[in-house]
Amino acid sequence: MTILILGGLYFGLLFAFGLFTPFNFWTARQDIKNGKIQIVEIGEMPLNFEQKQKMANFYGFDFYLFGCNETTDLINGIEYYNKKMVNHLENKYGIGWWAKFQSQLNSIDNKTTHQITIDDIKGKWYLNKWTMYHTLYFSDTNVFMDNHIDSVFYNIYSLHIDTLILQDNNLKIKYKNRIIAISKDTLIIRSFGNGADTLCYSRTKREWKNE
């Protein structure tokens, strides 16, 4: 019993600190030692990523985009990894430097993106192709998805600037998909859910294309 308890505690700590993932406080120490200074971000590449990268490079580090398919242990590991990196940078540039740098990043965001609202996206959208997620219906809190096998799924969703965030019933984030463009009749998403294709939806239902 003691072995089981200690073993469970051991693996629990590994999970909590993300020690089974490529990013944790230990790998951060090694990267700093090797001169590889970076901040890891989860999500799709934003339109203003090049500007942010140039600003980061000015201070001698990079942003590294990991993608959207994160797990709890990976999120935990990245949190400790980034904390170690920020501490290193603040030792170099002074306490409070990171907060000032983030305010500079926010000023870039405000210039290049705008907050997409529920009113912008609410209602039905048609892909007009007989494929995965061929119809999306957004209510105030949920998005319902028809797919090519005539099944309906749904997720809780929220919007953060230009990103659609899909969550399960426990409010755990499942996917983050960037909205490239949205207008009165058009919705363009860089992938949806775990897909890889850029999808263009319309408010108008047209004849199916079997693709």
Q: What is the CATH number of domain 118-202?
A: 2.40.128.280
| Residue 108 pLDDT | 66
Indicate the helix (H) or strand (E) that contains 106: helix 97-112
Beta strand 163-167 pairing with 123-126: unpaired
End-to-end CA distance of the chain: 56
| Residue 11 pLDDT | 46
pLDDT in tens, 168-193: 888 888 888 888 778 888 888 877 77
pLDDT band at 10 (very low <50, low <70, confident <90, very high): very low
Mean pLDDT throughout 18-22?
A: 72
| Residue 148 pLDDT | 67
Do the Cβ atoms of 24 and 74 come closer than 8 Å? no
**Cα torsion 106, 21, 90, 64: sign:** negative
pLDDT in tens, 78-123: 888 999 999 999 999 999 999 988 888 776 665 555 689 999 999 9
Rounded Cα distance between 127 and 86, Å, is 43
Residues of the chain within CATH 2.40.128.280 domain(s) are: 118-202
Query: What's the half-sphere exposure (Cβ side, CA atoms, 13 Å) at 59?
Result: 25
pLDDT in tens, 31-66: 999 999 999 987 666 667 778 888 899 899 999 987
Do the Cβ atoms of 173 and 155 come closer than 8 Å? no
